[in-house]
Amino acid sequence: MRRNQKKGPAGPFFFFRAAAGFTMAELVAVLVIAGVLAIIVVPRFAGTEFRDAQLYNQTAAALRFAHKSAIAKQRTVCVAFTANTVTLTYDANYGTAACGPALTAPGGGIYVVTGPGGAALAGVNFSYDRTGRPSAGQTITVSGVRQIIVEVESGYVRTQ
């Protein structure tokens, strides 16, 4: 060995091959991890929890929009519930409480929230007056589990 030449480490850890690839153990490990993630994650997105959460969030947003619209337009805004749908309408005339045309969504079109799949709503139809006060306090239940509360005095929409 020459005097100025340093001896480098030897062994498979420091040995680089020209043809790089994955070992069988690495491939099996990746497949096992992907399989475990698929078993855990896919049912959450395909299951009822995701659909219920979607309907819950969209219903709360619709109620907040109805409250703000009643104040901004100085008109009565009505909220109607069916099995899995929330429909917003308003009174085209100032000072009356008869709802008629559909409320326009921020992006255009009619403001209707429809729950996907088996998601269900339980609520009583009510209206916001032109000051944003609801005709009655409300507790809206989504799929029998999560609740949205509309405060009697302020019309504030509270999620739990």
CATH number at residue 78: 3.55.40.10
The residues, ordered by sequence, that sit 6+ positions from 154 with a Cβ below 8 Å of its Cβ are 132, 133
Q: Which of 18-27, 40-49, 80-89, 135-144 has the lowest mean pLDDT?
A: 40-49
Pick from 113, 108, 103, 98: which is nearest to 73 by CA?
Answer: 103
Q: Is residue 83 part of a domain?
A: yes
For residue 58, tell me if it sits in a domain.
Answer: yes
- Averaged confidence pLDDT in the chain: 83
Is 67 domain-assigned? Answer: yes
**In a 10 Å sphere around its CB, with 0-12 CB exposed, 13-18 middle and 19+ buried, how is residue 105 labelled?**
middle
Mean pLDDT of 69-95: 89
pLDDT digits (tens, 9 = 90+) for 99-117: 888 888 888 888 888 887 7
Domain carrying residue 54? 48-159
Structural domain tally of the chain?
1
Residue 9 has pLDDT above 80, yes or no: no
pTM of this prediction?
0.69
